Amino acid sequence: MENMEIYALLGFVLILSIYLGLELISKVPSTLHTPLMSGANAISGIALVGALVLSTDSNLQSAIAFLAVLFASINVFGGYLVTNRMLKMFKKK
């Protein structure tokens, strides 16, 4: 159990980030609900960073790592591009 300290620290980061997220997004105008959701969805593609560090020691692990990178990349590229496309359409009078 020598690593419990790091979990305490990272758990602290987790709680702070959730709190920060709730504060930042609580007053978003309804016009931006869809782009916000789609933009947040692109951010959840951060799983790509986790996918990149996966082990590739066995064939099965290599296949899992490849698929994880592939699907996370679709999420990242698709998410950001479609959000950008949507936001460009919003115009003021």
Partner 1 sequence: MSIFEDITAIQNIIYIVASILFISGIKMLGKEDTAVKGNFLSALAMFIAVLVTFISELENEPFILIGGILVGAIIGSTIALKVRMTSIPEMVALFNGFGGLATFLIAWSQFDSIGDHYFQHLLAIITAYIGGLTFTGSLIAYGKLSEKLKVVKTSIITKIFTTIFYGSILFLIFSILQPFLPEIGFNFFTVLLVITLLGGIGFVLPIGGGDMPVVISLLNSFSGIAAAFAGLLLLNNVLIVAGSLVGASGLILTVIMAKAMNRSINNILFVGYASASKGSSSEEQGEVSPINVADAFLILESASSVLIIPGYGMAVAQAQHVVRELGELLEENGTEVKYGIHPVAGRMPGHMNVLLAEANVPYDVLAEPDDVNPIMDSVDVAVVIGANDVVNPSATEEPGSPIYGMPIIEVHNAKTVFVLKRSMSSGFAGVQNPLFFKQNTRMLFGDAKESIGGLVSEFKD
CB 51 within 8 A of CB 68: yes
The interface mask with partner 1, positions 39-58, x = CB under 8 A, is xxxxxxxxxxxxxxxxxx--
Q: Is 6 in the site for partner 1 (CB under 8 A)?
A: yes
Q: Residue 27 gets which letter from DSSP?
A: T
Q: Is 4 in the site for partner 1 (CB under 8 A)?
A: yes
Q: Is 29 in the site for partner 1 (CB under 8 A)?
A: yes
**Count of residues that bind partner 1 according to CB under 8 A:** 79
CB 65 within 8 A of CB 51: yes
Q: Is 92 in the site for partner 1 (CB under 8 A)?
A: yes
Amino acid at 65: A
